[in-house]
Amino acid sequence: MKKHILLIEDDKIVRENTAEILEFADYHVSMANDGKMGVELAKKEIPDLIVCDIMMPKLDGYGVFQILSKNQKFKHIPFIFLTAKTNHSDIRKGMELGADDYITKPFEESELLSAISTRLDKVAFLGEFTKNNINNKEKKINTLEVDNINDLIKIFCKKQSHVYQKGDSLFCEGNRSNHLFLVKKGLVKTFKSTEEGKELITGLFKKNSFIGYTSSLGDFPHTENAETIELSNIIKIDKTEIVAILESNPHIALNLLELLAKNIKVTKEKLVQVAYNSVRGRTAKSLLLLVNNDPFNKIILSRADLASLTGIAKETLIRTLSDFKDEGLIETSRTFVKIINKKELQKLR
């Protein structure tokens, strides 16, 4: 049976084009052209998922969500905001209300379909998990039987991923998250911002890295921001799914604690580096951190981000890189930095 999606959107062109995309993807679609009509239609038809614009006449998207969320019939029905609003406060408001996802216009067809598929998969997963609990089944679901973090990553990588463009936000400092993020492809930075708008990068996350588990698994808000540095594929894993896996595989919790401890260790080392190392030493450490095990010893990162990671001004970084180049330690171009003499860089303090 086709899954039923309710689309609430006041813009006729966007509404009809989006409905056409969903129908081509084999979904049954109902449409409402304002929030009030959307609430009435939702109560009448009880869809499998709701996609709702925010800025609408009569009743905005936030109002639609608040009304429906008070009704027990909509407790487990995914709700996705669709809007042209993109600043952090708007994203934070939608997610703090309890929405399942947030898609900004204009969007790619694949992004919309991926978000919908992910939310419907979550409902199916929870339904199966609840059914097994009710029946008191002692045998684990095969997909939940994992030996280590790498097995867990392989399972999650089979899920639909979200496409994030360069500069897209995953989460903001101060908001709470219902998701754990896994980088399937690309590069993501976490950072703190000052009131003057200056950034200090606190972490870089590549393929197969988890992000945001301290907030998704704890009952407190994010303490930093997360943003893509390049085009990335990100898998969003619901908190309830993670909890279910940890209950079935308690040893995985130890692996997550090891990851957390490793991140804390790296952060402490970075603080010591900022406090005591010279500009040259800090820059060298950042370059070595970024190149990691890259066989080509190449770093593709903007000068601004590299400066933020190192904790120095962009102009200071450029002068230091120029010195390193003159000393034969690195090669540079507009798009990359290549390490030539790793041993000498390791000696710098």
Task: Write down the H helix ranges in the chain.
Answer: 12-24, 35-45, 61-69, 88-97, 109-134, 149-156, 213-216, 239-248, 250-276, 279-291, 303-310, 314-326, 342-347
CATH 1.10.3720.10 for domain 140-264? no
How far apart CA 253 and CA 255 sit, in angstroms, is 5
228, containing H or E segment: strand 225-228
- Other CB atoms within a 10 A radius of the CB of residue 295 amount to 6
CATH topology of domain 1-137: Rossmann fold (3.40.50)
Sheet holding 79-83, edge to edge: 28-32, 4-8, 49-53, 79-83, 101-104
Whole-number pLDDT of residue 142:
39
What the block records as the tokens of 316 is: 């200071």
The full DSSP string for 244-292 is HHHHH-HHHHHHHHHHHHHHHHHHHHHHHHHHHS-HHHHHHHHHHHHHT
> Would you state the structure tokens that stand for residue 305, as one six-digit string?
């981000």
Helix (H), strand (E), coil (C) string for 308-339: HHHCCCHHHHHHHHHHHHHCCCEEECCCCEEE
In three-state secondary structure terms, 112 is helix
Closest CA to 203 of 288, 266, 132, 137: 266
Q: Report the DSSP beta bridge partners of residue 8.
A: 32, 52
DSSP 103: E
Tokens representing residue 108 in the block:
């790619």
The residue written with tokens 């000498």 in the block is 344
| pLDDT in 10s for each residue of the chain, 349 residues | 789 999 999 999 999 999 999 999 999 999 999 999 999 999 999 999 999 998 888 899 889 999 998 888 888 888 998 877 655 566 666 666 777 788 888 888 888 898 898 888 877 766 655 555 545 444 443 345 667 778 888 888 888 889 999 889 888 888 877 788 999 999 898 888 777 777 788 888 888 888 887 666 666 788 888 899 889 999 988 877 877 777 777 777 777 667 666 666 666 665 555 555 688 888 888 888 777 656 677 887 888 888 887 778 888 989 999 999 999 998 988 878 889 888 888 888 7
**CATH class assigned to 277-347:** mainly alpha
Domain ranges in the chain are 1-137, 140-264, 277-347
pLDDT for res 125:
64
Distance (Å, whole) CA 340 – CA 297: 8
